[in-house]
Amino acid sequence: MSSALARKHEINANKLAKRLRRQVGQAIADFNMIEDGDRVMVCLSGGKDSYTLLDLLLQLKAKAPVAFTLHAVHLDQKQPGYDPTTLPDYLGRIGVPFTILEQDTYSVVKRVVPEGRTMCSLCSRLRRGNLYDHAFEQGYTKIALGHHRDDIVETLFLNLFHQAKLKAMPPKLRSDDGRNVVIRPLAYCREDDIADYAQQKGFPIMPCNLCGSQENLQRKAIKAMLGDWERRFPGRVENIFRAIGDVSPSQLADPKLFDFAALGSHSGQRRSKAEWLLGDGADAAD
C-alpha cells in the first residue's frame, strides 16, 4: 500500500471512530444511560457488536463527565467448537475485568427445539435470563447490550408484520421482572459502520456454532427488505429510525395513549361498544 493510500485509510478510520464515539456519547446523554457511580455490566457475546460496544465505552470512560466502572461478562453456552481461551486472552490483554459464566444452554435448546426449527429465540431467552440473573446477584446498576440502529428498525417491522404491534427496541428499559436497567449505547450506530470498525480493530470474532450460524428467517427477510430500500432510497432506514423517536399519539389509533373519546365530546357521556352494536335492538351481525 502506498503512503498516500495508507494515509487516506488512516484518515477514514479516524473519522469512523470519531463518528461512532459521538453517536454513542449522544445516545448515552439523550437517554441518561450512565450516571455517576454506575457499575455497568457489558454483555460480551464475542461478535462484532459487543466488541465495538466495549471498545467505545472504554474510550468514552476515559473522558466521561461521570465516574463509572465497566465489567465484561460472557456466557459460555457449551456450544460445539467453542474456544474458551479467546475472550480471556483478549480481555486480559486490554486490561478489562471480566467474568465467564458457564451454562449448558446448548443441550437445552437442542433437546427442546424440533429438528429444522429456528433455535435463535429460545437460545436468546436462555442467555438473557442467565445474564440478567447474574447482573442482579452481583449488584450491577446497568446492563449494556450491543444492539444497534439496524437491530432496532428490524425489530419494529418484525413486531409490525408478525405481532400487529407498533413497538421496537428501546435504547433504555427496565427488564420485565423489574430487577435490571438495560441500556443500548449503540442505538444511533449503523451496522455497516460497526462492521467496518470491528474489521479495522481486528477483534477476535467468535462465530455462533449452535446451529451452523442459523439466522432467524423472519429477521433475515426484514434485513433484506431494509437493505433493498436503502440501496434504492438512501436515507430511508435512518428516517424510519428517527420516526421511532418522534411519535404523535393523536395521529395514530390507540385510545390507551390518546383520549379520542373525549375529543369534541359535548355531554361527557360515553356509550359502550355493546350499546352501539345493539342499542336499537338490532342484531349485531346485521
Q: Is residue 189, in this structure, part of any structural domain at all?
A: yes
Q: Is residue 166, in this structure, part of any structural domain at all?
A: no
Q: Is residue 15, in this structure, part of any structural domain at all?
A: yes
Whether residue 208 is annotated as binding a ligand: the answer is: no
Grid coordinates representing 71 are: 465489567
Please tell me the predicted confidence (pLDDT) of residue 209: 57
Task: Give the Cα separation of 140 and 271 in Å (integer).
Answer: 50
Number of independent structural domains in the chain: 1
Task: Give the Cα separation of 109 and 105 in Å (integer).
Answer: 6
3-state secondary structure of 230: helix
3-state secondary structure of 161: helix
Averaged pLDDT for residues 139-152: 97
Q: What is the largest CA-CA distance in the chain?
A: 87
What CATH number has the domain bearing residue 88? 3.40.50.620
Q: Decide which of 228 and 277 is more confident.
A: 228
Residues 178-189 have pLDDT tens digits of: 899 999 999 999
Q: Is residue 265, in this structure, part of any structural domain at all?
A: no
Grid coordinates representing 45 are: 457475546
Please tell me the predicted confidence (pLDDT) of residue 284: 47
Average pLDDT, the chain: 88
Q: Is residue 21, in this structure, part of any structural domain at all?
A: yes
Cell 460497526, located at residue: 194
Query: Domain containing 50: what range?
Result: 3-149+173-207
Whether residue 211 is annotated as binding a ligand: the answer is: yes
Q: Is residue 241, in this structure, part of any structural domain at all?
A: no
- Residue 89: is its pLDDT beyond 90? yes
Q: Is residue 88, in this structure, part of any structural domain at all?
A: yes
Helix (H) or strand (E) holding 41: strand 39-43
Whether residue 123 is annotated as binding a ligand: the answer is: yes
Beta bridge partners of 75: 101
pTM surpassing 0.85? yes
Polymer length in residues for the chain = 286
Residues 232-265 have pLDDT tens digits of: 999 999 999 999 999 999 999 999 999 988 888 8
